[in-house]
Amino acid sequence: MRYNLLRIIFILLLITLATDITTIHAEAIAIEKLRERVIKDALYEKGFLPRVSRYIVPDFDRASDYLAEMNADGSWENVDYQDKDNNWAPLKALDKILVMTHAYSHPDNPHYSDKKLLDGITRALGYWYQIKPT
């Protein structure tokens, strides 16, 4: 009797665990699909442009300029990261990071998979998360 009870409990635990793993896997797949859609929209289809063009119109040919202008800490001199007005100057930094990321990830770009550009993107994002502009 006791053996059967333990066996039933064990089977129920396995079913619960399998259900949880399936749910976690399904959520991970959904998150990955969403990530892929956001990347495709932002980097390849440039679908973000209508939403941000009132602030900044990215110049996708300037990735190497932005990298060259970047400070060692990942910041840019011409960006006021402490700005809090309606024009919010830190958007300039995000625009530069976006242009650099587009150049790095787009196969037709001369900077595709450029390790120096990736280092610059990493430093720029690191600086952004370090100062946390609001």
pLDDT string in tens for the chain (134-residue length): 666 767 777 676 767 766 766 677 777 787 778 777 777 776 666 666 655 555 565 678 899 999 999 999 999 999 999 988 777 888 889 889 989 998 998 888 899 999 999 999 999 999 999 998 88
pTM across the whole model: 0.61
Distance of alpha carbon 8 from alpha carbon 122, whole angstroms: 52
What pLDDT does residue 51 have?
56
What pLDDT does residue 128 have?
94
Q: Which residues contact 58 (CB under 8 A, 6 or more apart)?
A: 49, 52, 95, 98, 99, 102
What pLDDT does residue 34 have?
76
What pLDDT does residue 48 have?
61
What pLDDT does residue 54 have?
54
